[in-house]
Amino acid sequence: MATLTKQARKKIWAFGALGVFTGLLLLPLFLSFPTGASGEAPAPAATTAPPAAQPADAKPVEKARDIWFKTEGPVVGAPAPKTTDGPRDYPRYNFESRVLLWVANQQHLYYGSFVLAVPIFCMIIEYLGIITKDKALARKYDQLAYDFVKISLTAYSLTAILGGILVFTYLTLYPTFFGYLSSIFRPVMHTYALLFVAESGTLYVYYYGWDKMREGFLKWVHVSMAVILNVIGTVLMMLANSWIAFMQSPAGVDAEGRYLGNIWHVIHTTLWNPINLHRLLGNMAFGGGVVAAYAAYRFLTAKTDEERAHYDWMGYVAMFIGVCFLIPLPFAGYWLMREVYAYRQQMGITLMGGLLAWLFIIQAVMIGALFLTTNYYLWQGMERMRGAERYQKYIKYMVFVLITCFIVWLTPHTMVMSPAELKAMGGQQHPVLGNYGVMSAKNGAINTIITTTVLSFIMYQRANKIPTVKWAPLGNAFLFGLFTMAYVNIIWLAIYGYYIPANVRVGLSVPQVASTLSCLFIGVTLNSIMLSGAKDTGPIVWGQISVRSQYALIMLATAFTWMMGLMGYIRSSVRLFWHVNEIMRDNSPWAFTHTIGFAANMISFNVLFFWLTILFVFWLGSLGVKKAPVPAPIGQKVPVPASSH
């Protein structure tokens, strides 16, 4: 009875905690949305009183048209300030303020991405632990999820500190701009702060309640808490995204930048959702990369086979989750770019065909390197399994396909040349190679790369297994037909694109993406069904993998980090000399676009700084790891630990 009461009490507490967190999540929405950003009473645009009831000297409400949504609204905000270069609008040290802001922003973003991604991992892995029937594996998953959240806890504090540094940097170096932005986003910023409190509370209860809620129903409550934690985290990210989306494609204000009383218009700008999706996927891929690199580091420094086996497995799981989100990332990026073109064609041209085009070539190289490295890791991972030898002979062909597509993928459309070089080549485009610098070829190349990566994964899945289902020959034939025809279709669409006008050609990317995703979803699902109850040719020997594979994981993480820095810079610098595009001009001395070399150095500095600090975080995390118990002398009593972690 006493146990039952204790259980019941636990349940009540668990439900109470869940209710509080849900309430905290919803509270800011109730608080913020009815009021306008101006902080004043809502404008009497739709007053119910008859006009005759108003005082004769009542000031008429000024109305203006939304710059993007084209709706009319009451003017409730001040116009965007017109700044001048001086200490009032741009106070400074003897240093470029923009560079300081760049570092503060990037570091906060790296850590923010990490602490948003890792709890999503925890949720997935903890859930896997619950549904896995194998008790030993379930415990392993649970321990892994716990290890992940432990790492993110230290990083969480650093994220908050970096957020504070970022706000102070804005306030002290760009006070006028930040004042304008916060006048528009006042309720959103308060909501953000409240959600941050809710996120912190949920995270701490989630972490410290791990042991208390490890069994039965309470475990489900615990994993539900992870869902709430991640909903809060995602909403936080989306709110922060609304600020940068507003700066790039403002809405909810008139042409002078005056707020029109509709906070949803300000948040929901045309680029908001593409940025949300791109960032969410990017954060997940980045988080997977960082955790995989951590596991690789621990693998390389491991002293025992058990440790090596554990960290090999951890690296694989993290890499797998990361790659699951990496695969759709180029499609999300494509959607974002398409929306940028739809918003302002010139902005798209500046990005991909003008001032910033060479940065996109660097991005292409990085994406290609990411996929090559992922494939390389999977092929190396097949070494762990007996029976995988039968697939080794196909790898050389896959390498050929990947490298060929990689070269097409990074071929520039036009080159920066001297007049003599231009003359020698006969124009800005090379007569042969220039044909590969267009989107038709590049779309074909990247889709082929991704399809090949899916194929590598399917090979990995079945490396040590032989399907035993009756319809295995039919399934194998269908898989073969699916992949062959997908390759044919992707390449056919790429070639077809050269013969039709641009307005039709642009649509071909959708069936190309659909072909790739068909291979991903149909192929992997069919393969998984075929492998249920398959005959094992040998176990996966975790820990028996080449050292090179672990360097591949580190390379993967570094490439993610570098690419995030690069793409963030590209997205931000496309505003050119605007703080808020076409609304508020940047009149500081730094309203110019840096050279590619300078930008690359800055990105590298940020990457290096992040990795140095995250190593410190990892080191801190390792301090908490319990030492192996020292064997007690015979006859002496051994103290019983309070918890298993």
The residue ranges that bind another protein (CB under 8 A) are: 466-468, 470, 472-474, 476-478, 480-482, 484-486, 488-489, 493, 496, 499-501, 503-504, 507-508, 510-511, 514-515, 518
Closest CB 60 distance from another protein, rounded Å: 44
- 72 forms bridges with which residues in the sheet? 65
DSSP state of 214: -
Shortest Å, Cβ 496 to another protein:
7
Q: How far is the CB of 310 from another protein (least distance, A)?
A: 32
Nearer residue to another protein within complex by CB, 481 or 624: 481
Distance of closest approach, residue 330 Cβ to another protein, in angstroms: 17
How many helices and strands, by DSSP H and E, does the chain display? 21, 6
Rank residues 480 and 619 by Cβ distance to another protein and give the closer one: 480
278 vs 465, which CB is nearer to another protein? 465
- Rounded to a whole number of angstroms, the minimum distance from the CB of residue 472 to another protein is 5
In three-state secondary structure terms, 61 is coil
The residues pairing with 620 across neighbouring beta strands, listed in sequence order, are none
Name the residue nearer to another protein (CB basis): 507 or 624. 507
Cβ-based nearer residue to another protein, 421 or 536? 536
Provide, rounded to whole angstroms, the least separation between the CB of residue 516 and another protein. 11
Taking the C-alpha atoms of residue 512 and residue 495, their distance in angstroms, rounded to an integer, is 12
Torsion of CA 536, 399, 607, 235, to 10 degrees: -60
Q: What's the rounded Cα separation, in Å, for the pair 614 and 554?
A: 13
Is-contact 332 292, C-beta < 8 A? no
Residues in the chain: 645
Minimum CB distance to another protein, residue 486 (Å): 7
DSSP 3-state of 536: strand
Minimum CB distance to another protein smaller for 119 or for 467: 467
Phi, psi of 62 (to 5 degrees): -80, 135
Q: Yes or no: say if 321 and 556 are a contact pair by the CB < 8 Å rule.
A: no
SS3 for 551-563 is: HHHHHHHHHHHHH
Find out whether 606 and 107 touch, Cβ atoms under 8 Å.
yes
Neighbours of 62 (CB within 10 A): 11
Q: How far is the CB of 473 from another protein (least distance, A)?
A: 5
Q: Are strands 584-585 and 63-65 parallel, antiparallel or unpaired?
A: unpaired
Our CB check for another protein shows the closer of 26 and 510 to be 510
Q: How far is the CB of 326 from another protein (least distance, A)?
A: 23
3-class secondary-structure state, position 584: strand
CB of 498 to another protein, least distance (A): 10
Helix or strand or coil: residue 23? helix
Name the 3-class secondary structure at 1: coil
Nearer to another protein among residue 11 and residue 386 (C-beta): 386
Q: Which residues pair with 64 in a beta bridge?
A: 73
- Give first-to-last CA distance, the chain, whole Å: 29
| Strand-pair category, 578-580 with 584-585 | antiparallel
Nearer to another protein, 176 or 518 (CB): 518
Question: Based on CB atoms, which residue is closest to another protein, 45 or 488?
Answer: 488
64-78: buried (b, 16+ CB within 10 Å) or exposed (e) per residue?
Answer: bebbbbeeebbbbbe
Cα dihedral value 562, 566, 571, 574, nearest 10: 170
Q: Which two tokens stand for residue 35?
A: 């009021």
412 C-beta neighbours (distance < 10 Å), count: 17
Minimum CB distance to another protein, residue 610 (Å) = 39
> Which of 203/486 has CB closer to another protein?
486
